[in-house]
Every structure is written in C-alpha cells, then in structure tokens.
Amino acid sequence: MEMSCGSVGTVKESVSARRRVLYSAVCAVCHENEFSLADKPSLDTLLQMLQSLLFEIGRSSQAFCELSGRTEPLVGDVVMALIEMGLNCDSLSSYAMRANRVTIASPQLMAKQSTPRILQAGEKKQLTPYIADYLPAFPDPHSYIRTPTHKQPVTEYEAIREKSASQKRDVERALTKFMAKTCGHSLTHRLFPDEQISHLFPLIILKVESNPYLNALLPKDQVFDDNEEQLIHKKETDKKAKPVVNVSDKTDALNADNATEEQTNETNKLTLNTSATDNDVLDNPYLRPIKMSSRKRSRKQFET
Amino acid sequence: MTKRENKSESKRHFKLCHQNLCISQINFQKESYLGFVELHVISQRDDLKKIKLNAKQLKIYRVCILYTAENLIKDCHFTYSDPTLDISQSESKRNLDNYSVSHLAVVQSVDPDRGNGELIVEMPEDIPEIVSAVKERKVIRLHIEFACERPKGGVQFVVPQSDGSLSERGAHMFTYRYENLNRLWFPCVDSYSEVCTWRMDFTVDLNMIAVSCGDLIESVYTPDNKKKTYHYCLSTPTCAPNIALAVGPFEIMVDPFMHEVTHFCLPHLLPLLRETCAFLHEAFEFYEELLSSRYPYSCYKQVFVDESYEESQSYATMTVLSTNLLHSRHIIDQTYHSRRVLSHAVAQQFFGCFITMQSWSDAWLPRGISAFLALQYYKKAFGNNEYRFDLYQQLQDVIHYEQKYRGVVLDPSHQSSSETNAFYFPIKHLHTISPLYDSAHHKKSYLVIRMLENYLGRELLLQVFNKLLSLAINAAPQKFSASVWFNFMISTNSFIWAISTVTGKNIDTFLKQWVYDGGHAKFHSSFVFNRKRNTVELEIKQMDIQSTGIKRYVGPLIVTVQELDGTFKHPVQIEDNITKHDLTCHSKSRRNKKKKIPLCTGEEVDMDLTSMDQDSPVLWIRIDPEMQLLREVVLEQPDHQWQYQLRFERDVMAQMDVIHFIDRFSTPQTRNALTDTINNEQCFYRVRCAATLCLRRVANHMANTWTGPPAMLSIFRKIFGSHSCPHIIKLNNFSKFQHYFLQKEMPFSMAGLRNIHGICPQEVLKFLLDLFKYNDNSKNKFSDNYYRAALIDALSETVTPVVTAVINPTGQTIAGEALSMDTKCILEEITRYLNLDKLLPCYRHTVTVSCLKAIRHLQKMGHLPSNPMFFREYAISGVFIDVRKAALKALIDITKAEVRKDDLDFLLDLVENESIPSIRLYILKQFVKNPPFVKNQQNILNSEDLVDRLWLLMNSQLSYDSKIRCAVVDFYYTLYGRGRPSCLPKPEFSVVLNLKEKKVSTALITTDELEPQDSSIDRDMEVEDTKDLSKDTEDMDILPVEERFDQIVKETEMNEHNKNEKSPQRSSEPQLSPQMAEPEEHALERVPTVGTVDDVDVAPTPHIESLPSVSSDITPQPTISSIPPTTSEVEPTVNPSKEKSKKDKDRDESGGHSSKPHKDKKKKKKKHKHKEHKDKHKHKHKDKDRDRDRHHSRDRTASSGGSTNASPVKHI
C-alpha cells in the first residue's frame, strides 16, 4: 500500500513547515484508515479542514484563557474549547495511545541562513587618534579607499601581438566549434569515422547554394574600408553633372512615348563613375527606352 | 607568291550573303526556345539540287523557300541525319585506331568546309522562279523553322533552384561552342570561311536582356506588352561560328571611357564589374596603336555568365566570359589573370572574330596572332620580365607536351595521311584533336608568331597585320557582289602572300621548319676553353632526334659568351647532328686589375672573380639567348659559371635556366648564390620565388652538412619579421607585390625542407604555426585569402608519410591516439580555417580549396583515414566550382589509390550527367593526368564494364561536345592504349585477317636484320609502311596457310603432349590462348570463351601450343624454315617451358601478343650468336642465359609494339 505522497514535494516551500507537518498528519490518518490512494485535492481539503479545526481550537482556547484573565492558555482552556466545540475529550487519550499510530517525524530545523559577507575591499582603517573611540568605526573600506582604475598598459610590441593573436584565435576557435556543434552534422562530413575523434575536429556542415558564385565573389572574410576612396570619388562625380538616365522600368516604358523626353531624376547607379555627359551615356543602345510595338504606336497616333 | 590566293572555290555549291536569325519563346523552365532562320543563298552552279546545311540536336519543323516579292512560299523536302551520334558501328574493331579513322570520316562527312552538312534541303524544281533564280545567281531565301529543347550542348541554361522570380534568381542562358559547333543552336553554314551579314531578333521576358553580336538597333515591346524584342544588325560580314547570344537579368555598365563598350554581369556583381573592367580601354588603345588600325567593329560587349564553357569565348563584337573572373580591387592574384583573359579577348576581336581562319589548317594564325597581340599588351601592363617569364613557361609547356605525346603540327595540310594518322587521334580536324594537343597548339602558335617577330622584325610583322586588317576593313562595307569578302579569312597562303608583299621576304623555310612539321630542337652542348688559342671550343649535339617530339634542326644559332670584357655574340651554323665551333675570346686574362665588367645590357658591375677558373675569361655561355627557336638546351657548364649567370645575367629566362640546372651542384657556393638571389630586391620576383624552391632542393641534398637554421628562415625573418621581434611576422601589408608573392612562396618552399631523417624539421613546423598564429590582415588594403591558402598549402607540404610500421591501405583503423602532436596541430589549423571559410567565405574560397588539398594529402600520407564520401559532398553541384574541382581532384586520387569501383562510377556518372561542361572536362583531364591504372596493368577497375562505358561515351553519347568527346578518347588512350583493351574478350578468330597480318609480319622480318632499341618509339611512324606491305601480301592465297596449320597440328602433337605433362594445369587455362600469338591483334586479345586447348576443332589452338619450338616453320621463305632445327638443337629442352612462362608475362604486359614473327628473328640471331659463342667457350652458359633474356625482352617490346598498332613494327 502506498500513498500518493508525491505531492508532498510539490507543496510550496513558502507554505510553512507547519502545513507540511499537517499534511503528513492527514496522510497518516488516511493511511491508518486504510486508504491506499488519495487525490491531492481531497487531501488538500482534509488538510484545510484540519487546519481550520486546529485554528478554531486555538482561537477558542485563547478566548477562554483571556476570559479568565490570563495571557497563556492552560490545558483546561483547551478542554473547554474542545467541549464547547462538541468534541469528545475522553477518547482523545486512548486515541493518542493507539497501537497503529504512525509517528510523524518532527520537522527538521532549517539551516540557518548566513548573511553574506560584505565584500571586503582593502584594509579596514583603524580610527585615527583624534577621533574618540566611542564613535562608530569606519564603514566598509570600499566607501573610502582609492584604487587605480586601470592597469598600466603593456607597451611591449611582442606581448601585444601575442595577446591579439591568441585572442583572435580563441574567438575563432570558439566560434567555429560552437557553429560546428550547433548547426547540425552529417555522418559523412567529418574527418574520422570514429565519433569521438571527429569531435575533436568538428566540421561545419557544407551548405549547397543556388548561386554559389555570389558567395565566392563577394567575400565576407574581411570588411574593407572603402568609404575614403568612395568619398573622394563622389566628390569628383558630384562636381560634374550627374548622369541622368531613364530606368527601363516596365511602368516607365509603358508611357514610353511621353517618357522619352522627361527624364527621371533618379541617378542610375549603372553609370556611376562616368565622366560622361548625359547624352553620351544615353547613346548606349542598352540604356535607351524600349519602344512600343508598331501596332500600338500606330493606334495611339490614330487616337490623337 | 605573287598573287593572293582566293580560295573561294570551296566545295559548297552556294554562297551565303545574308542570314536572319530570330529566336523567341525562350523558356527557362523547359530549357527550350523556338526560332527560325532565313538564309539568303546564291547558287554557284546551274543545277543546284541540294543545299547542305549544319544543324544538330534541333527539331526542324519546316524548310521552305520564299520567292518573288510577294513572299510566295514553297515547302521543300529535307532530310536530317547526324552521323556523329555514333562514330564507330562495328563492334569487333574496337580500338582507337579504327575509332580515330571513323571519327575523322564522320566529322568530315558533316564538315561544311567540305560542302557537307547534317541538314540536306532539296531544291524544288517545279517552280520556275526558283529555277531561274538558281540559274541567274539570284538570291534565294531559305526559311527554316526550328526548335531546341533541353539542349545537351551549345546552349547553357543556368536556372538556380531557389525561390523568387527567374530574374531574382539570376537565371540566364548563353550559347557556347567548341570551334564551329554553333550548329547546335541554330541551322547555319557552320564554317569559319563562310561569312555573311546578319540580322537577329530575340524576344525575351521584360526583365531580361538579350545580348548578341552586332549593333543593337532597338528594343521593342511585343504587341501584348509582355515581352520585348531586341533587334540586332551585324553589317560586318561574319561567319556563323562567331555568332552568340546571352539572355539574362544582366546589370549593365557602360564603359566610362569608351561608350561603345558595354559590360554585363549577373545581379549583385556590379561593383566588381566596375573594378574588373576599369582597365579595358587601355587595352583597346594599345591594340589600335600597335596595329595602327582602328577597332574593326562599332561596339564591343562583355557578358559575364555563370557556368561558362571556357573562361572566355570571343564572338563578333562580344565576348562571353566566366563570372568568376570578376574581382574587387582588394584581390591581387586574380587581377593578373583576369586582365590577361580580358585583354586577350579584345585581341581576338581583331584576329579570330573579325579575321577568321580559312580552314582548320590555318587555325594557328588567328590563334597565334591574337595571343601575340595579347602578350604585347601583357608586356606593357605587367612589364618585360613578366612577359619573358610567361614566354619561358609557354615554351616549357610546349616542349613538355611534345616530348610526352608528339610534335604539334600547326598546319597539318602538308602532312601526308600517314603522318597525321600516326597518332591516336587525327590532327587534321579540330574536332578530333585531344584537348591537351589543342592547348599545346595554342601555345605553339603563339611561339611561332613570336619567332616570326624575330625573323622578320617587329615593325614589319606589325605592318603585315596592319595590311591584313586594312584589307578586311575596306572589304567590310562592300556588298557581297564585290567578292572581296575573302579578305575576312586568313590562311597560311594568304599570310605568306601578305608577308612577301609587305616585306619582300620569303618565309618558306621557316614555315617548313616550324609550321608544316611538328617537334622542336634539342641541343646538348658542352665546351672547353683552349688557353693557347684563346678560344672556346663549343660542341653542340642533337642526340635525341629519334625521340618523341624532337626533330633535327639545321640552320643558324646564336651563342653568346659573357667574358670579362663584355658580352659577345657568336652566330654559328648548325649543319649536322654534331657540330663543333671555335668561338674566339676577346678578353685577355687580366684578373688582377680591378675593373668593372660590362654586361649585355650595357651596365657595368663589380664581380667577385675568385671562384672563377683562373685561366679562362669566360663567365658564362648561353645558347640561343633570345629564344629564336623552339628548343630545349642542355648546356654543361661548371657550377661557378652557373652561379655567375644567376647572379649577374639580367635576362629572366637565363636566370630560370640556371634555377633548373643548378640544383645538381649542391654546394655552399650554390647555396650562397641562391640566397643572394632571394635577397636581391632588384631581381624579378618570380625568379626569386623559383629560387626559393631551388634552394629547398639544394638544402635537402645538403641535409647532412647543413649548418645553421633551416634554409630561408633568416631571410624570411629579415624581410617579413617585425623590427623589435623578428620571429613575429609584421602585420600584413601587400602593397609591395614583389614581397607579397615572395611571402606566399617562401613558407611553401620551407615546408618542403627535410632533415636527414626525411622529415620536416620541427623548427620549420613551429615557424609555420607561428605564421598562422600571428597572421593579421586588419591593416591591409588587400585581401589575404591567397596568402592564407598558401599557408595551408605549406602546412600540408610539411607532412611526410606516417611512420608506423604497417599502414592500412584503407586507413580505417587510424585512431585518435595515433595522431601525433604535430598532426593534431596541423589538423587544428586546417579545420579551423575550413570552418571559418564556411562562416565567412573568402574570395573564390581559396582557403577551402587548399584545405581540401591538405586533407587529401594527410589522408595519402596515412595520417587520416581516407574518406571519399567527404569529398563527394564538395563535388556536387551547388558548390563553388573551384571547390568542386579540388574535391574532384582528390576523388580521382582516391580512386587511383584505393581502386573502388564505387568512386570511379561516381566520377563517371558526373562525366555523363553533370550540367556544367567545364566540370566534365576537368574530370577527364584530371583522369588523364592521374589515371586509376595504366595500360595493361592488373587492376580491379580494369574491367569490361569500364571499357564498354567509356567506349559508349565517346562513341555515341558525346556528339554534342567534341571537346569532351576527345577528352574521353584521351582517357581511353591512357587506360588502354591504341589496341584492344586486354580485359575484353577476343573477337571471333578470323583466319583471313590473321593470315594477312602474319604474312605482313613475317615478310617484314625477313627483310629486317636489326632490332630497334625500343620499338614503342617508332610505333607511331610505321603505320604507312606496314599498310603498304599489307597490300603486297594481300594477294597471297589462303590455302598454303591452312596446309601449314595442318602440318603444325601434326608436328606439334608430340610436343604438346610433353608439355601438357610438364604443366598440365596450364593447358586448361583460358589465359593461355593469348599465347596463340598471332599477329592479328583482334585474334590475340580476345580470349575465346571456350577456347581452351581441349578444343581440338579449332585449328589454331594446337598451333599455339606448338609455338615455342616450331612456330618458325610458318614462314613463306624456305630459307628461314630451315633454321629452326639448329636452334632447337641449341636449346632443345629449356626453351619451351621457359618461353611459355615468359610469354605469359608478355601477354600481361602487352595485352596478349604474338611473338611468333619475332621468334624467327630471334632464332636467326641466335644462330649468329652461336658463332660468337665459339669464341668464348668459357662463358658459354652464362651468355646463353643472358642472350635468352635479352631475346625475350626484345620479344616483349616488339610484341607490345604490335599490340598497340594493328600492324607489326618496322625495324630500322
């Protein structure tokens, strides 16, 4: 016979230890009465009932005690309270002495929480002689000592190189290992058939791309600072008239007849760098607008 | 030549004056398009019955003729057949000789230059207008509608599998061709010599751009506004092979310096395009100035596409280039290469597109001239040293090819058929030549044009080019009727004509030496200084003129001698194989005076002359210093002369020569000379790099006596170490390119250093690992991806075979504990770089490529278990092409090392099914370089299946790409040679053939007394002779031979029994049958499945058995048949059994061959020897044994000669 006492553990820690003891008591009573199983809600209900009973006994014992002008209840007060609640006191002692009583272990003392030590920074200063000794001691040193905020930087070239190299390598190693272990793995993409050694040299899985040339031609391993050169470049081009080109967009082209003359102000990236004038660039047949089909054009003319 | 030859009387019965090409409904999903062409044809004869055109893999819907002004339509009958689908139909003649004959025949049967074609249109005879048009030589408009669906070649559809619209994905298509294979995408007269004007319309989706040849007239919407049509017009007469089309969502960049030039690239790559093409206008200007002729077309377009066939393909007014040529300005190495390719493509616009070849035999001219122009630009852009170095490399490449395979004949039209057919592929047609030969041909063409520059003078040669160009430019605007269009073609004859007109010089001898004939000269030379006469006695020998690719040179040769008083040129005349020349020295021996020594460049330098020979004023000697010949020079000089040459000669080619030769003198002096060269900032960087490799070799030779730190370590630290602590490398700064290249090369050279135990010194490994650790590119303007790749290469170079006693070939048992600390460190770096390159890929994934190479190397050396699956992942599509190639190379290596059919099948599947042609070609080329097995080698992979597969591939599967087809032929040749593969069963025994061949061989032997040293060398040249002989002997009837067979059966029965007693098990072995040793190779190599000796019905079988002792009876000449008894007396018992085992070997090595005819000879020899033996009785027995061995080995060589060739070997 086993009680479903698993719920005991789930009782919140915040609920007092007393309640836990009560819970055990309820369980014990149930057990004595040969319950083999009990729902947690029903146990809770019983627990609640028991608690209110005890609370009521306590409260009315207190009342009897105060009624007789005392502050601490005596046994008599409790008996009075029981009787008044209609409980049978006589059978109580025999019940307490019953043979199949389950002894509930007394709750353990909670370990005393030690208050965390305040971080000691530096030596605590003794009171200086001119301060009377009855005055409080100095507060924690961190409130008044002065420590230098930075270390003297290492200026030795070799050490710096060494450090930056190791840092870089550590970062790379950590990153690659992390990625290799997290981005999934394949059975074949490894150097050793043995799982354990492969683990020493994990490989990032190979991804198949739809346009592999893009990644290969636009490298990401290094970011070059193109800004400076581009700025110079831009200044140069700004001085000259910006090349203005029709974008051979579909919408544009549909009103191509109107659009041939009016030019969108959108600077075309394609012709950046050019020292050319507008007309020169427009001259390129690939940048010319697309013409309407002859049939449509004739119809338009007819309409107008 | 007085008049320019006009070869217009071609074999075609019509001429083309104009062609319209219209393509629409390009469907990227179905990879198809529809189109029609309209050919304007002018008949050249009165009874034009048929018009033969070229079309391949196309569906021809309709062929009709439009006539009269009202466009009346008359449908024509037409037939379409493509004989190149199946080259050789006969199963029994499965060898390369037959294949190459049929290949040539088949290719020529559709060759437009021979007036042939796949598409034969019958001219209707019932329409009077058409008949009269033919008679009056009027224009006939031939209209052909066609469609192309899932093309296997000629058109590449690139459709990436991802989300988004076609243009977002970057889907595009373009056409490509190997020489004239444009018939794969539209019907045409696919000849370089048939030019006409063009009009082309291409209808494409709105977001696509169609780029094609000629001027873009306009782009117009289709009536439904859903598509647009690009109208192109090419008014310069152009041949069909020079037409191309590229369609895709390209980004456009108009060249900022030349607005006629437009560049196109795939989406997202515009910034790279801008930087890659920024220099191009300089190339244009350079060529125009050089040729003093303007660019012949009105526009130029460059389209960069993915999955391109070659790096660049030039067409009229446009070039299709590989997108992988694009680079940003932070990349160094690629810039050299891309600029070279791009400028070469521009040069090809002049010669190659504008002026094309007349026929195949003239291909060397446009190839050579365009390469010549390109290299002139290369010289201007990158300097004279770079140019000369490149020249040196190209010469080495050609020499290497010629010595390995055969001489390259630039213009084979003057070659007799026997000479051209003496190889395993016919060289008369560009569609049948091996890709290796093709690339050697390219290089040699250039070298010959350059020699011509020396021969004629640079100015005159340029004037010749100018003449050719101006004639063509004048012809361009003229109408067809003016018949000046032949000026667009260049042929050897018209070139001779132009040269004689411009310069008045005759170049016939030159052409005969270098163009009409293959091969190069090879000089062995040595000298002595004669103190009394104060001369250098120089001896020049041409010893190897019998070897492959080397020929005898007769003519002038320049020798320069550097003396104390300066450089002196001595022209000498080479008239014989061995010539001696006395070169007078100008210097008096006066070494005590300190004086500067003048060099050939005019500068004067101080030299330390202490190591010189006290008597001689000669510092060094050079033969043919200006490379006026195609030659290899082996010059014997004392080591101090080499060292002086290395230190003080200014020509990079001379320095490279030294570096090739000097490693045989591994002395401290050489070490110093090399070290000085590496240190010398004035020295060309490539020479310095080569010197590091040479110093490595010298140091390894000197490993025992080497003192001090490993070679080059201190040099490296001096140049690249930081000031305060030399062992830490400086932050990368590649702005000085010389140092950059040196920085890449030196670690690699050092990694190859070995100590006395044959392993890499620990110090070097530590040094390399430090380079990895301290590599810092943060302050660099350039990417360090190539440098990092070089470091990985270096790291893998340090790896030497694993030391453990037993290396498991499969390597499956290698455990982690077995890894040494060094290997762990190396692996650590490699995996880190490999992983990092996946997260943050570098340019062209160079690091990944090197990592794969390194991993394969580690596997090969036994440090890692071999794992083909690993490389397979990198070999599939969707991976960048360079990485795929590296993986494929590793896989090919694994296939060779581990002989698993699985791996081979994987690679061959790729060859068959891969969508990128360059990958398929790459696999085959690598297989040729590194074949899984060689001819007649016992190998699991050497199976019938493989033969069948390759045969099927080259015979009937690759009709749409002759380059890949020829590459398969190369591979097949590497594996099996020219004969029937030994693993194949023999075809049915054919008495007639057999007989014929046998007679041939016996006849030969009776006439020949001498045996060649190595018959295999002569093999290639003998075909003709044997053919003739076979004709002679053909007339002999069969009967006598049958009688002979009977005789043999009777005579040999006895012997046979004896032998069977001796080795009974052998008689039942089917392998024995190869011994049957009949000259007819088919008979020889095919083992009859039931052909054991028990089959008494089979006449030849007993014959086989009889061979060892009696076979010599089978000769028509009675004189010889009388010999055998004597020989059998000499060695009556030993011979048969021994011979048998020998022959088993013979078969293994030669693929099963008859040694019978040679046996006769052997016996003759023996008789001869016998006489000699009487003189030396003491050593009789020994000698006999030795003789026998020698004879056997001769048999072997002779029979192997026969096996690769259908006919026996002629003995000189």
Average pLDDT over residues B386-399: 95
Inform me whether the C-beta atom of residue B335 falls under 8 Å from chain A C-beta atoms: no
Q: Do B838 and A287 touch (CB under 8 A)?
A: no
Inform me whether the C-beta atom of residue B865 falls under 8 Å from chain A C-beta atoms: yes
Q: How far apart are CA B142 and CA B613, in angstroms?
A: 81
Q: Do A176 and B839 touch (CB under 8 A)?
A: yes
First CA to last CA distance, chain B = 39
Residue B520: DSSP 8-state: B
A-chain residue closest to B725, CA distance: A158
B662 in a structural domain = no
Classify the complex by whether its ipTM is higher than 0.85, answering yes or no. no
> Which CATH number do you get for residue B463?
1.10.390.10
Confidence class for position A228, pLDDT limits 50, 70, 90: low
Spell out which residues of chain B touch residue A188, defining contact as CB-CB under 8 Å.
867, 869-870, 872-873
Mind giving me the DSSP string for B713-749?
HHHHHHHHB-SS-TTSBPPP-TTSHHHHHHHHHHHHH
Ranking A10-19, A47-56, B67-76, B1202-1211 by mean pLDDT, the lowest is B1202-1211
Per residue in B942-1001, pLDDT (tens digit) is 888 888 899 989 888 888 899 999 999 999 999 988 877 877 776 554 433 434 444 433
pLDDT reading at A6 higher than 60: no
What are the phi and psi torsion angles at B249 (to 5°)?
Answer: -80, 60
Residues in chain B: 1212
| Residue B191 near residue B275 (C-beta atoms within 8 A) | no
Token pair of B305 as six digits: 């596409």
Question: Is B367 or B1153 the better-scoring residue by pLDDT?
Answer: B367
| Residue A275 near residue B281 (C-beta atoms within 8 A) | no
Please name every residue paired with B36 in a beta bridge, in sequence order, or none if there are none.
B22, B145
Per residue in B403-430, pLDDT (tens digit) is 998 889 999 888 776 665 678 888 888 8
Long-range Cβ contacts of B263-267 (<8 Å, 24+ apart):
B263/B301, B263/B302, B263/B304, B264/B209, B264/B211, B264/B301, B264/B302, B264/B303, B264/B304, B265/B303, B265/B304, B265/B323, B265/B326, B266/A211, B266/A213, B266/B170, B266/B172, B266/B304, B266/B305, B266/B306, B266/B323, B267/B167, B267/B168, B267/B170
Ranking A188-192, B423-427, B666-670, B682-686 by mean pLDDT, the lowest is A188-192
Model pLDDT, residue A282: 57
Model pLDDT, residue B1147: 42
CA–CA distances in Å: residue B523 to residues A126, B242, B401, B635: 100, 42, 18, 8
Average pLDDT over residues B542-550: 86
pLDDT reading at B597 higher than 90: no
Compute the nearest-CA separation of A291 from chain B (Å). 5
Question: Is B526 or B12 the better-scoring residue by pLDDT?
Answer: B526
pLDDT reading at B1084 higher than 80: no
Question: Is A1 or B745 the better-scoring residue by pLDDT?
Answer: B745
Task: Give residue B237's identity as a one-letter amino acid code.
Answer: P
Ranking A3-12, B126-135, B177-186, B662-671 by mean pLDDT, the lowest is A3-12
Confidence class for position B1, pLDDT limits 50, 70, 90: very low
In this complex, which of A166, A254, A284 lies closest to B259 when CB atoms are compared?
A: A284
B522 in a structural domain = no
Compute the nearest-CA separation of A149 from chain B (Å). 29
Inform me whether the C-beta atom of residue B251 falls under 8 Å from chain A C-beta atoms: yes
Question: Is B289 or B1118 the better-scoring residue by pLDDT?
Answer: B289
Q: For residue B206, count CB atoms less than 10 angstroms from its CB and return exposed for 0-12, middle for 13-18, buried for 19 or more.
A: middle
B442 in a structural domain = yes
Spell out which residues of chain A touch residue B220, defining contact as CB-CB under 8 Å.
290-294
B-chain residue closest to A158, CA distance: B725
Q: Which domain holds residue B384?
A: 363-515
Mind giving me the DSSP string for B94-107?
-SHHHHHHHHHHHH
What are the phi and psi torsion angles at A89 (to 5°)?
Answer: -80, -25
Show which of residues 829-858 on chain B sit within 8 Å of chain A, judged by CB atoms: 831-832, 834-845, 855
Nearest residue to B863 (alpha-carbon basis) of B916, B898, B818: B818
Model pLDDT, residue A222: 84
Inform me whether the C-beta atom of residue B605 falls under 8 Å from chain A C-beta atoms: no
Last residue of a domain, one of B220, B235, B269: B220
Model pLDDT, residue A201: 85
Model pLDDT, residue B922: 95
> What is the overall mean pLDDT for chain B?
80
Name the domain count of chain B.
Answer: 2
Model pLDDT, residue B748: 96
Q: Which helix H or strand E contains B1101, and what residues bound it?
A: helix B1100-1110
Please name every residue paired with B205 in a beta bridge, in sequence order, or none if there are none.
B227
Mind giving me the DSSP string for B775-803?
---TT-SS--HHHHHHHHHHHHHT-----
Q: For residue A67, count CB atoms less than 10 angstroms from its CB and return exposed for 0-12, middle for 13-18, buried for 19 or more.
A: exposed
Mutation to test the A interface, candidates B208, B211, B221, B830, most A Cβ within 10 Å:
B221
| Residue B96 near residue B1023 (C-beta atoms within 8 A) | no
Question: Is B849 or B45 the better-scoring residue by pLDDT?
Answer: B849
Model pLDDT, residue B178: 87
Identity of the highest mean pLDDT range in A219-233, B476-490, B1128-1142, B1175-1189: B476-490
pLDDT reading at B1081 higher than 90: no
Q: Do A283 and B259 touch (CB under 8 A)?
A: yes
B-chain residue closest to A254, CA distance: B225
Model pLDDT, residue B440: 95
> Which CATH number do you get for residue B57?
2.60.40.1730
B293 in a structural domain = no
Inform me whether the C-beta atom of residue B206 falls under 8 Å from chain A C-beta atoms: yes
Spell out which residues of chain A touch residue B812, defining contact as CB-CB under 8 Å.
193
> What is the overall mean pLDDT for chain A?
73
Last residue of a domain, one of B515, B539, B573: B515
Percent of chain B with pLDDT over 90: 51
B1181 in a structural domain = no
Q: How far apart are CA B161 and CA B159, in angstroms?
A: 6
Compute the nearest-CA separation of A273 from chain B (Å). 7
Residue pairs between chains A and B whose CB atoms are closer than 8 Å: 223
Task: Give residue B94's identity as a one-letter amino acid code.
Answer: R
Q: Do B873 and A292 touch (CB under 8 A)?
A: no
CA–CA distances in Å: residue B773 to residues A203, B358, B795, B825: 20, 59, 13, 12
Look at residue B707 and give its three-state secondary structure.
Answer: coil
Q: Do A196 and B816 touch (CB under 8 A)?
A: yes
Token pair of B456 as six digits: 């004629």
pLDDT reading at B238 higher than 50: yes
Token pair of A84 as six digits: 């008044």
B852 in a structural domain = no
Per residue in B314-365, pLDDT (tens digit) is 999 999 999 999 999 999 999 999 999 999 999 999 999 999 999 888 999 9
In this complex, which of A189, A212, A281 lies closest to B880 when CB atoms are compared?
A: A212
Q: Do A189 and B870 touch (CB under 8 A)?
A: yes
CA–CA distances in Å: residue B830 to residues A164, B344, B674: 20, 37, 32
Show which of residues 547-586 on chain B sit within 8 Å of chain A, judged by CB atoms: none
Look at residue B524 and give its three-state secondary structure.
Answer: strand
pLDDT reading at B796 higher than 90: yes
Nearest residue to B712 (alpha-carbon basis) of B691, B686, B733: B691
Output b/e per residue, B1021-1038; b: 16+ Cβ within 10 A: ebbbebbebbeebeeeee
Per residue in B258-274, pLDDT (tens digit) is 989 999 999 999 999 99
pLDDT reading at B1130 higher than 70: no
Model pLDDT, residue B4: 53
Question: Is B702 or B1050 the better-scoring residue by pLDDT?
Answer: B702
Spell out which residues of chain B touch residue A192, defining contact as CB-CB under 8 Å.
814, 816, 864-865
Ranking A149-153, B139-143, B941-945 by mean pLDDT, the lowest is A149-153
Token pair of B901 as six digits: 């059919």
Q: How far apart are CA B1181 and CA B1173, in angstroms?
A: 9
Domains of chain A (ranges, CATH numbers): 17-97 (1.10.20.10), 157-217 (no CATH)
Residue B808 C-alpha from the chain's centroid: 36
Nearest residue to B929 (alpha-carbon basis) of B958, B970, B964, B894: B970
B440 in a structural domain = yes
Mutation to test the A interface, candidates B839, B869, B879, B882, most A Cβ within 10 Å:
B839
Q: Do A221 and B842 touch (CB under 8 A)?
A: yes
Mind giving me the DSSP string for A163-230?
HHHHHHHHHHHHHHHHHHHHS---SSSSS-SSHHHHHHS--PPPPP-SSHHHHHHS--S-----HHHH
B884 in a structural domain = no
Model pLDDT, residue B270: 94
Model pLDDT, residue B36: 94
Model pLDDT, residue B1204: 36
Confidence class for position A231, pLDDT limits 50, 70, 90: low
In this complex, which of B209, B327, B816 lies closest to A194 when CB atoms are compared?
A: B816
Q: How far apart are CA B515 and CA B364, in angstroms?
A: 9
